[in-house]
A and B are shown apart, each in its own frame.
Chain A
């Protein structure tokens, strides 16, 4: 049995646990160990009190919480101003009863997880508690005047019962009833439902939670379509408000549908010029930077454009939105959002190529790189001369993308570019250039590779890079290549012997990787020669090739 002071202490702990659990719920998911422990502590704290009482109640005052008339909590900061927050909302008591479950406690913590400081909470605490319908948590609310009689009640209300007059009145009822003829109700006793009707009901109820933003936008458009000769200004403002509303709710798919319809109405051309002008104003909002920035925020928050919506966006955006989208690329925080904007630019960017190529001079390397990717995807050869200007960009990531783009766009510049890039001081650029070879014609690419691997300076490159080059060359499966590399396998040098053996080991490795049996005679000839590393590479290659056959 707990003493009064122990009970008060325990009650104080409950409030402490409540604040801790509230904080945990705001920061972590319900299933996280932190939240689970905090909620369990709170639950155990309440259960400790309920072990000796059937019901415990916390009285809420303006700046304090009382338990059995003892103050156990006082608000000391805005963040912890729970008492005032609950009091302001009309809550005067929260009580718990035996049978309380941990899920109910978690539910209550969720209800109380609203930001106490915010003045913009649309849902009040009382509403949230009411919606939860707890079985073992009850609240007392004070909101004056909800049930007060209204002055004019007498005139609203039915005639009061007059006990003395009842008999006379009943007699009058009987008298009139006898005079009335019997009524025949032709309806059947019960209303029958078909399975189909029950299913449609189920569908209606299930769909009731589906967002209605699309409908609001549809109605806003209807208002304009219904308007005859009045001033379109307010209607236009109403539509913009509806668009803003949909944007705030991140309904990009709904907005795409809406603007497609606005565009259709605008293109229809059967209405007068004021009407068309209004629609044009609304439609131009879609391409505006203000709109695009909000779209960008939605994308950053994780909203995705599905295939259908993306296609609609590309139908709605035009060249005028290209500069806005480019600027958006600089603001966006997430890769996914940037990717979507780049996809949009790739789809519509050709309408304003100068804007895109101008962005190649942006100071931010990531913007430039992304524009290069967009230009590559657009595939307009006019972009090549602009790309050439950034081939010496200070950032290797930009150079890499530029090489790839140039290679894809093709032509003599691409060949020269890749040839130069294969000697870039940055190894990642060289590797990228190697990867870009596939975009050139096979004959050209092979020629370029042969040129590089036979260059005297090539043997000074590191083993991994050599391997990449040889493997790239071997992918052509050409007799000339086999002959050349076979001879290189056998070739011994006096100077730079170690580097040469490394090159031979790299060729052996690649021959093994490609399981190219044409190399077997060459490999057999040097099977037990040279350094241990070379021998190992050669025997591995032989094993791989023989294993294949």
Chain B
């Protein structure tokens, strides 16, 4: 990060990392939530501000800041609609970073991921919230938001490379990897690279969010297993593999029970071993410490393994406070 933000917090002091991450997350969410209204009223859509926010988010992703990912993956089930675009943005950037995209590509991808579904709020609520099967009219309404998205984004003044890509993704994001989705395009040979990335992030956010837990009875690998099941039809199979190896089975912020009897919060995926993240172990007896589940003992056996998962939102445990209260790394080999 070669740019540094200097600003005084409303409290008068400097922003701490936690404030910055949360503030950034909320500001992106707020800006995006307000976008449809701005589009509709013709007001300034604050692209520069959006770009700047995304740049800071990318810096945090590059710094491997766990709280940002934690916020994306383990939020409570309220205000999902506002949070969803931000989560998709963070997850997309994370995947893009893993794929080795350049900084300006990541910035482009991040903004695209925030804007591609900008016309979803224009779909009637009764269609969006409908539980049963869609009628032809419902499908038409859903199809319209992708078309509307393309036209809105491409219709903006001074369309640049990013808005063009956002318009493409807006049109394609329900098309599916095998092009069997909607709108039923006749002459598009394949989905755009960004569409394929965003589609995975979108699916994963929907699966790993608390909404999935809320439905109950899910196994911990439910999200990644579902992604792998959708490979080749809904999602790009190779990108899904990259994503799963990057994220691991247990989302950051998950509450897990270890075979040692300890309870922990998933802090960081391993990156290769998908079931062995770094976990902050919490208990009343010792101060929280970080345990690397990929560590083995002298006998060659793993020291700790996840046995069960719990819905973190059912408990009054704020994982974010642990992410910043982790000076004691001594416990890594415990």
Contacts from A to B (Cβ < 8 Å): 90, 92-93, 120, 122, 124, 126-127, 129-135, 137-150, 153, 155-162, 165-167, 169-170, 172-174, 176-177, 180-187, 189-191, 193, 197, 200-201, 204-205, 207-209, 212-213, 215-216, 218-223, 225-226, 234, 238, 241-242, 245, 261
Contacts and interface: CB of A to CB of B under 8 A. Distances in A.
Interface stretch (B114-122, B164-172, B198-206): B164-172
17 contacts: A130-B55, A131-B102, A135-B2, A138-B2, A147-B7, A147-B9, A147-B24, A149-B19, A165-B316, A166-B317, A169-B317, A173-B315, A182-B308, A191-B245, A201-B239, A219-B185, A238-B151
B228 to A, nearest CB: 8
Given A130-B3, A157-B22, A159-B76, 17 more contacts: A124-B48, A131-B103, A133-B2, A139-B3, A143-B7, A146-B5, A146-B27, A149-B22, A161-B316, A161-B318, A161-B321, A177-B308, A185-B220, A197-B241, A207-B193, A212-B168, A238-B154
B220 A141 contact: no
A219 B2 contact: no
A166 B284 contact: yes
Contacts of B103: 130-131, 133
Interface residues of B, number: 103
Contacts of B29: 150, 156
A428 to B, nearest CB: 51
B249 A146 contact: no
Contact of B2 (A124, A132, A197, A218): A132
A157 B76 CA distance: 7
B302 to A, nearest CB: 10
A143 B49 contact: yes
A181 to B, nearest CB: 8
Contact of A156 (B78, B185, B273): B78
A155 B79 contact: yes
Interface string B133-151: 0000000000000010011
A207 B190 CA distance: 13
Nearest to A221: B187
B23 interface: yes
B310 interface: yes
B105 interface: yes
B332 interface: no
Contact of A185 (B22, B104, B249, B315): B249
Contacts of A191: 241, 244-245, 274
Contacts of A207: 193
Interface stretch (B36-44, B123-131, B275-283): B275-283
B193 A225 contact: no
A74 B304 CA distance: 63
Nearest to A169: B316
Contacts of B7: 142-144, 146-147
A139 B4 contact: yes
Given A141-B3, A170-B282, A191-B241, A156 B10 contact: no
Nearest to A122: B160
Nearest to A168: B316
B215 to A, nearest CB: 16
A223 B143 CA distance: 11
B188 A218 contact: yes
Given A226-B183, A241-B154, A190 B245 contact: yes
Contacts of A127: 51-52, 55, 104, 107
Contact of A173 (B53, B155, B255): B255
